[in-house]
Structure 1
């Protein structure tokens, strides 16, 4: 009976989540309820209030979230991907799988530009899906290619998720940005191999577009490079300033947001109604994230006060297995939670509970410091959480694509398309787990 209240608190949370009640309200309400049930002194309310203001509302790092969201919305409005896709499609014309490779390249560029999955998936679905279907691409291959490259937006910097991870896990955001670059490119490489495999062994699924006129390759390459200059400059202005320590994440986000706004104005893609809609979208997204952060902060404090942290440590210790098996168990749990929860909820619920556990594990000589362990663990979780956007029943990337897909694309078609993508993402988790240098080499090199 030692852990009756923290166990009941967890079970009540799970039941509330499945009831469909808003998670932010659920977290806040349960924290208040269990403070009374656990006979926690009322003076502890001041601790919760101080933590909410000090760790959330006055947090300088979290101020980067609305700036990155606004940057992504502005890039979506400026339509920088439209001409780039058309030029790349011309460059790969006459080659099986060429359009698929162009879509992956565009997805990679937009992921590193926006940092928002919704913007990337909707943009790629609107631009590329009708064109791929017109070129007689297999529906599942086209869908998988778009969703795979679109979900890179939550992993590659300037990812909002990495900003949240840095705050929750107390890890430098610049280190996380650097640590996810190689894994992100690795996943994009998997998607490229997927297209190449189909081009070699099932070319009818990724047919070549017939060449009807002689195309000056040199001219196309120059136009592609021209269209890449703007997003490349924008990405570098944000990433280089943060990763090299020239600017804080918030300052880098401000640079990116300002440049994206100027770009949209220069392209005359920002009438007043669009600007108002962009500001409203930014405010709503930021409010949702911060509200969850407030509720999760209160819930976490009360849960630990009732002995929840000790309960989790005892459960992990009772396994009597290697540290890697403990991490494997956490990864399986996060993967399952991804079927039902958004990454924001998982981040604020799971990371505060398991980060101290992982930090205390003995991995021997595999890591040089506790900071290395936390960076490695954070990237494992980040790649794992990509799958939460694709797995049923609440895969939000699936819903984004379904909302803008042609009528002949069913939800079943979309889920068939994501199966190989989820498999590749899980293989990426395995590769990172077995070879931590994939994550740790670049932060150390910088």
Structure 2
């Protein structure tokens, strides 16, 4: 059996094993070491069972991941998000925005979407955003006689925006995987992120205006003075918005590296929790524990993926994939469509972190063949991955919401509410390909070509 055949068997076996539910990071490491032992086996130099270069490779890759400057930003951004989540900022924010938007159609849905987008941007953790907003905003909308599907779609779609709008943890992981500048990625993702959020907001306003029964106005609407509204915004909306914009601005304008800006954000999150009198020892412990757990998962995924990819490439698997794609004689558009379709399908059983760390590196060496910019490819992936949380049958946002929703809310109703947002994601992807300047305008303006 030739080495390239072994490499393809290695990839096929890995896909089968993870579909059976085995832990992905440890499966990657075990298969990388197992097949690597075969790949690097040298009988002449072997004195003991451990005289194999795969163990040196494993140690070196582990050290490289843990010493990666780009990945240092991940635990700091996670800590900022978990602190913000536990500082009771979100309930203040939703209440304030509900009052501020009370005169527009579907005011509570608008407030929920803006809160979701802001909170998702601050945390980057889809499950946390959907769950918390499902406990806070979803019951309030149902109590106001909002349509169940309409209300659930807002929460599910809004909660996923954090993996696209900077400062996104997903983009940091993609930058570490692809070697693309994280600063350019953030600049490139900013306009598409706001474009998608704007489409969501426009859909809510138009739908609530055309079908007011979906989002009825309160029968008795209190007239809140503008001074009170401004005071509420000053104490809830502006502090969190200022924190996010400060972190993002420091990165985009070159005032700080992503790691330094993330450290500022983590400190800012702590200060917000102190100001709101929500910082307790227990909440601090929970935030640190969750940060360590999530960071460890991402880092070990990187270690396993890089060991697996190194062995796969050494055996000739990367060459086989490249030759296979060349033989298909695809145009750049056809290759992009095929790649995005595969990523769309992978989004059903896998998390975004696993897709970015494990499968995206398979596509990256093929991009030069089709003259595709990895920055543009990364933004398309970030938009595409919104669908993995919204598309049945494995729409994780729907399951997060169902887990904390009232018993009478059916999963089918949540799926129904999420599907219009999937259409808007596809519309955004088509628009980005048709007008790539949407991605390139801000990076070119700020940093040149």
TM-score class normalised by the smaller sequence: over 0.9
Structure 2 stretches lacking a partner, 5+ long: 43-51
Counterpart of 2:149 (choices 130, 140, 145) is: 140
Report whether the alignment pairs 1:420 with 2:430: no
- Counterpart CA distance in 1 for 2:404 and 2:127 is 12
Report whether the alignment pairs 1:317 with 2:326: yes
- Counterpart CA distance in 2 for 1:88 and 1:263 is 19
Q: How large is the RMSD of aligned CA atoms in angstroms? A: 1.8
Q: Given that residues 95 and 208 in structure 1 are in contact (C-alpha distance below 8 angstroms), is that contact kept between their aligned partners in structure 2?
A: no
Greater Cα offset, 99-108 or 252-261: 99-108
Greater Cα offset, 93-102 or 132-141: 93-102
Greater Cα offset, 27-36 or 147-156: 27-36
Residue number in structure 2 paired with 1:366: none
- Counterpart CA distance in 1 for 2:336 and 2:223 is 55
Within a 5 Å distance, the mapping from 1:241-256 to structure 2 comes to 241-256=250-265
Per-residue CA deviations over 1:410-429 (Å, capped at 9, x if unaligned) read: 22222222211222112222
Q: Given that residues 93 and 211 in structure 1 are in contact (C-alpha distance below 8 angstroms), is that contact kept between their aligned partners in structure 2?
A: no
- Counterpart CA distance in 2 for 1:421 and 1:83 is 26
Per-residue CA deviations over 1:44-98 (Å, capped at 9, x if unaligned) read: 44234323312x1111111111111110011111122222222221233354312
Q: Given that residues 79 and 266 in structure 2 are in contact (C-alpha distance below 8 angstroms), is that contact kept between their aligned partners in structure 1?
A: yes
Per-residue CA deviations over 1:82-126 (Å, capped at 9, x if unaligned) read: 222222212333543121111122122212222222222122212
Residue number in structure 2 paired with 1:342: 351
Within a 5 Å distance, the mapping from 1:200-239 to structure 2 comes to 200-217=209-226, 219-239=228-248
Greater Cα offset, 37-46 or 100-109: 37-46
Greater Cα offset, 404-413 or 163-172: 404-413
Per-residue CA deviations over 1:264-295 (Å, capped at 9, x if unaligned) read: 12212122112111111111111111111111
Per-residue CA deviations over 1:343-390 (Å, capped at 9, x if unaligned) read: 111111122111121133236xxxxxxxxx111110001111122223
Residue number in structure 2 paired with 1:14: 15
Residue number in structure 1 paired with 2:386: 386
SS in 2 for 1:62: helix
Within a 5 Å distance, the mapping from 1:298-317 to structure 2 comes to 298-317=307-326
SS in 2 for 1:346: helix
Per-residue CA deviations over 1:128-162 (Å, capped at 9, x if unaligned) read: 10111011111111111111111001111121111
Q: Please, what TM-score do these two structures have when normalized by structure 1?
A: 0.93
Residue number in structure 1 paired with 2:24: 23
Q: Given that residues 147 and 214 in structure 2 are in contact (C-alpha distance below 8 angstroms), is that contact kept between their aligned partners in structure 1?
A: yes
Counterpart of 1:355 (choices 353, 361, 364) is: 364
Shift of 1:170: 0.4
- Counterpart CA distance in 1 for 2:310 and 2:437 is 34
Residue number in structure 2 paired with 1:368: none
- Counterpart CA distance in 2 for 1:402 and 1:33 is 40
Residue number in structure 1 paired with 2:56: 46
Shift of 1:36: 3.5
SS in 1 for 2:70: coil
- Counterpart CA distance in 2 for 1:181 and 1:124 is 23
Residue number in structure 2 paired with 1:32: 33
Within a 5 Å distance, the mapping from 1:46-445 to structure 2 comes to 46-54=56-64, 56-217=65-226, 219-362=228-371, 373-445=373-445
Shift of 1:37: 3.9
- Counterpart CA distance in 1 for 2:208 and 2:382 is 30
- Counterpart CA distance in 1 for 2:54 and 2:14 is 21
Q: Given that residues 177 and 243 in structure 1 are in contact (C-alpha distance below 8 angstroms), is that contact kept between their aligned partners in structure 2?
A: yes
- Counterpart CA distance in 2 for 1:293 and 1:201 is 48
Q: Given that residues 156 and 180 in structure 1 are in contact (C-alpha distance below 8 angstroms), is that contact kept between their aligned partners in structure 2?
A: yes
Greater Cα offset, 201-210 or 391-400: 391-400
Q: Given that residues 40 and 53 in structure 2 are in contact (C-alpha distance below 8 angstroms), is that contact kept between their aligned partners in structure 1?
A: no
Shift of 1:392: 4.0
Q: Given that residues 340 and 393 in structure 1 are in contact (C-alpha distance below 8 angstroms), is that contact kept between their aligned partners in structure 2?
A: no
SS in 2 for 1:63: helix
